[in-house]
């Protein structure tokens, strides 16, 4: 595990965008999985800037998303579909056919997860955020190490935190890639910013693997980069 501590969120975003741009420049056909949430937004902005300045080209990339609320219309501004297109895909030159996201409108969510799991293979780089309760993607506490893409009931903690962005019709479920699929990615870049992530970061770094805190499953990954800002690292020794 490589831990990079930055002085603030801006530096975290810059460092993460540089690592990803280097990966894409080394392998333009990279298969990469992106996370939603507030944390990677700064990194996406810097990648877009890199694209505009011709420092990085996304034309051969294949992109995946980690999760989506269920049920969730693509048109809903709170969907991860909208999030990914607004923050990244509409602003770079990745071809539409190379973008794979879980469909929150699927009539049969179990089948949707099974089909997504078949596509979610040979991922070179996976960018992850972290929930305050230690969830990764939407693998809530209790998720098993061998879990695959599936329908997951959101925890009360996640609901109260994430639902601030919903005006009505809050979803109670999500579709999310599983822990085993995340661990199968060749490189993982985990981002954590702010003091409300400090407990989860401490568990990842100082405590044993436990299903009660899914981010700890990453401890055993052979190519994990953790990028945290000072606030997220404030409980570390
Ligand atoms: C969501 C997503 C995660 C994300 C996490 C943290 O629930 N499912 O993939 O990492 O929240 O989000 P934020 O960066 O907004 O704290």
pLDDT digits (tens, 9 = 90+) for 198-221: 999 999 999 999 999 999 999 989
The string of DSSP letters for 37-63 reads SSTTHHHHHHHHHHHHTTS---TT-EE
Catalytic residue numbers, as ranges: 67, 133, 135, 140
pTM of the model: 0.96
CA of 107 to the centre of ligand 1 (A): 25
Instruction: Give the separation between CA 127 and CA 117, rounded to whole angstroms.
Output: 17
Contact of 190 with 224, CB cutoff 8 Å: yes
Choosing from 13, 34, 36, 141 the residue with most ligand 1 atoms within 8 A of its CB, the one to mutate for a pocket test is 36
Q: Provide the β-strand partners of residue 70.
A: 173
Give percent of the chain above pLDDT 90: 91
pLDDT digits (tens, 9 = 90+) for 88-136: 999 999 999 999 999 999 999 999 999 999 999 999 999 999 999 999 9
b/e map 167-177, b = 16+ CB within 10 Å: eeeebebbbbb
Residue 159 above 90 pLDDT? no
Instruction: Give the separation between CA 122 and CA 144, rounded to whole angstroms.
Output: 21
Contact of 34 with 61, CB cutoff 8 Å: no
* Shortest-distance Cα residue to atom 3 of ligand 1: 137
Residue among 125, 175, 168, 181 nearest 150 (CA): 175
pLDDT digits (tens, 9 = 90+) for 21-34: 999 999 999 999 99
Residue 152 above 90 pLDDT? yes
């Amino acid at each position: 595990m490589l831990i990079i501590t930055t002085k603030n969120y801006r530096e975290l975003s810059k460092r993460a965008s540089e690592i990803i741009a280097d990966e894409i420049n080394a392998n333009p056909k990279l298969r990469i999985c992106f996370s939603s949430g507030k944390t990677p937004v700064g990194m996406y902005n810097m990648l877009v800037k890199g694209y505009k300045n011709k420092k990085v080209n996304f034309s051969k990339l294949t992109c995946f998303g980690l999760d989506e609320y269920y049920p969730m219309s693509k048109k809903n501004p709170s969907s991860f579909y909208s999030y990914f297109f607004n923050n990244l895909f509409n602003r770079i030159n990745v071809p539409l056919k190379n973008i794979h996201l879980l469909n929150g409108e699927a009539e049969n969510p179990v089948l949707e997860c099974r089909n997504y799991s078949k596509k979610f293979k040979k991922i070179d780089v996976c960018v992850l955020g972290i929930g305050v309760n230690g969830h990764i993607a939407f693998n809530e506490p209790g998720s098993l190490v061998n879990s695959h893409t599936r329908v997951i009931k959101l925890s009360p903690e996640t609901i109260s935190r994430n639902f601030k962005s919903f005006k009505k019709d809050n979803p109670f479920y999500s579709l999310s890639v599983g822990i085993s699929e995340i661990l199968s990615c060749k490189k993982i870049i985990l981002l954590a910013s702010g003091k409300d992530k400090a407990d989860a970061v401490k568990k990842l770094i100082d405590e044993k693997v436990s299903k009660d805190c899914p981010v700890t499953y990453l401890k055993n990954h052979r190519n994990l980069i953790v990028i945290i800002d000072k606030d997220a690292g404030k409980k570390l020794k």
